[in-house]
DNA sequence: GTTGACAATCTCAACGTTGAAATAAAAGCA
DNA sequence: TGCTTTTATTTCAACGTTGAGATTGTCAAC
């Protein structure tokens, strides 16, 4: 069988025969990009069903999995995400308005702001996370576990090489 | 060794032991998302060095690899991309102002617009594509070819399952 | 030929992010 | 104590995308 990347590579091979020996990275990286776009669209649709932006869902999961009292500084959320500080400020604004998180000014260092999951926020993410994992499983159901393990192992190596090793 | 996804999965296992048996899709899909974010940032930085948005680069490659006369309708570009018609219109506007493409109204069906690579556009993409492939190779240099082939084969299967099999 | 359904593209306000500048507080040091 | 540097967050205009609607053109049926 063949997918869209096979066609793309085939077109390039026809149009730029001088590049045929350089097309091999596209076979993996091109597919990673396309899979990511498809998965992202699916996850966006999923979170929208629960009234959440993907970025808001990301903040909820980050706060929840760090454990009680479900609190991180704004700066820590920036480092744990792939977005800038301005984006985090906006997300917190929206989520605070929704009652999902609250800002707590730290007495010790009043520059920093602690973002804390509210009880409502914790209940929301505890429900949504379970469904998210079921949705994730559905998105991967065409593969068997051995195949997924192979991909995971290689991509772990790639992430390590790019320094993606810590959350903070 | 361990990466950020190992830590994320470990946190969830601690905080939600009831979900441990459901976390396995994160091992693959979570890593795909993170690798894609890293690669996207790198490619954005690369195209910016050549004065191009990533979306503009995408249009250039799509037109170039379809072969002479390097022409597609706006609708075909929408289908070949992961964005809406409004985004394509804006991209074409910008690229036309830069002299990279030109709009040619079709005589046969005047609703449709043929987008054609200009000579300048073709020269730009022919240079940039070669460098892009070298950059791609650099981004994947921590892996050997067998590992990449494994990932590519599994992701091809996943893309097929999600219907990502044709360009148009 | 006129009508109505369909198709291709463009328009535009709303949205989330970026990135640099502004604000405010803490820390280092004379 | 004063002064500078550094750190944490917020502000804000510019940017690209979305998504619904408007515009314009085609085609089949009558």
Answer yes or no: do A86 and A150 share one domain. Answer: yes
Answer yes or no: do A34 and A73 share one domain. Answer: no
The range of the structural domain enclosing residue B35 comes to 1-49
Q: How far apart, in whole angstroms, are the C-alpha atoms of residue A85 and residue A155?
A: 28
Q: How far apart, in whole angstroms, are the C-alpha atoms of residue A63 and residue A141?
A: 28
Query: Residue A1 has what pLDDT?
Result: 82
Strand partners, B73: B114
On the question of pLDDT at A13 being above 80, the answer is yes
Q: How far apart, in whole angstroms, are the C-alpha atoms of residue B146 and residue B158?
A: 19
Answer yes or no: do B68 and B92 share one domain. Answer: yes
Distance from CA of A101 to the nearest CA of B (A): 19
pLDDT tens, residue by residue, A101-129: 999 987 788 899 999 999 999 999 999 99
Answer yes or no: do A109 and A124 share one domain. Answer: yes
pLDDT tens, residue by residue, B100-150: 999 998 777 888 899 999 999 999 999 999 999 999 999 999 999 999 999
User: Cβ of B123 < 7 Å from strand D?
Assistant: no
Query: Residue A35 has what pLDDT?
Result: 97
Number of domains observed in the structure of chain A:
2
pLDDT tens, residue by residue, A130-166: 999 999 999 999 999 999 999 999 999 999 999 988 8
Answer yes or no: do B45 and B57 share one domain. Answer: no
Query: Residue B168 has what pLDDT?
Result: 63
Beta-strand relationship, A71-73 and A113-117: antiparallel
Q: Which of residues 77-136 of B touch strand C (CB under 7 A)?
A: 78, 85-86, 88-90, 92-93, 103, 109, 111-113
Answer yes or no: do B110 and B168 share one domain. Answer: yes
Answer yes or no: do B7 and B80 share one domain. Answer: no
Answer yes or no: do B141 and B128 share one domain. Answer: yes
- Taking alpha carbons only, the member of B96, B82, B132, B88 closest to residue B112 is B88
Work out the pLDDT band at B1, boundaries 50, 70, 90. Answer: confident
Residue in B closest to A12 by C-alpha? B65
CATH number at residue B76: 1.10.10.10
Answer yes or no: do A42 and A111 share one domain. Answer: no
DSSP string covering chain B: ---HHHHHHHHHHHH-GGGGGG-HHHHHHHHHHHHHHHHHHHHHHHHHHTT--HHHHHHHHHHHHT-TT-EEEHHHHHHHSSS-HHHHHHHHHHHHHTTSEEEEE-SS-TTSEEEEE-HHHHHHHHHHHHHHHHHHHHHTTTS-HHHHHHHHHHHHHHHHHTT-----
Question: Nucleotides of chain D within 7 Å of a protein C-beta?
Answer: 7-13, 15-21, 24-27
Query: Residue B135 has what pLDDT?
Result: 96
On the question of pLDDT at B69 being above 80, the answer is yes
Tokens standing for residue A27: 């076979």
Query: Residue A59 has what pLDDT?
Result: 97
Q: Which residues in A lie closer than 8 A to residue B60 (C-beta atoms)? A: none
Answer yes or no: do B112 and B67 share one domain. Answer: yes
Closest residue, CA to C1' of C26 = A109
Tokens standing for residue B84: 């809406």
On the question of pLDDT at A168 being above 70, the answer is no
pLDDT tens, residue by residue, B22-64: 999 999 999 999 999 999 999 999 999 999 999 999 999 999 9
pLDDT tens, residue by residue, A25-68: 999 999 999 999 999 999 999 999 999 999 999 999 999 999 98
Residues 6+ apart with CB under 8 A from B39: A29, A32, A33, B139
Answer yes or no: do B38 and B57 share one domain. Answer: no
Q: Which of B3, B130, B140 minimises the CB distance to A156?
A: B3
Answer yes or no: do A137 and A168 share one domain. Answer: yes
């Amino acid at each position: 069988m063949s997918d869209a990347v096979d066609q793309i590579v085939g077109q390039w091979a026809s149009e730029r025969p001088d590049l045929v020996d350089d097309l091999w990275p596209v076979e993996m990286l091109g597919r990673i990009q396309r899979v990511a776009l498809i998965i992202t669209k699916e996850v966006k649709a999923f979170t929208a069903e629960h009234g959440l932006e993907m970025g808001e869902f990301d903040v909820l999961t980050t706060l929840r999995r760090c454990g009680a009292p479900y609190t991180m500084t704004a700066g820590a959320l920036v480092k744990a995400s792939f977005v800038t500080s301005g984006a985090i400020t906006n997300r917190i604004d929206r989520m605070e308005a929704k009652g999902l998180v609250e800002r707590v000014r730290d007495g010790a260092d009043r520059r920093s702001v602690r973002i804390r999951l509210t009880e409502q926020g914790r209940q929301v993410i505890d429900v949504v996370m379970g469904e998210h994992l079921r949705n994730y499983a559905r998105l991967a159901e065409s593969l068997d576990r051995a195949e997924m393990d192979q991909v995971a192992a290689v991509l772990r190596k790639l992430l390590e090489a790019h320094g993606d090793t810590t959350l903070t």
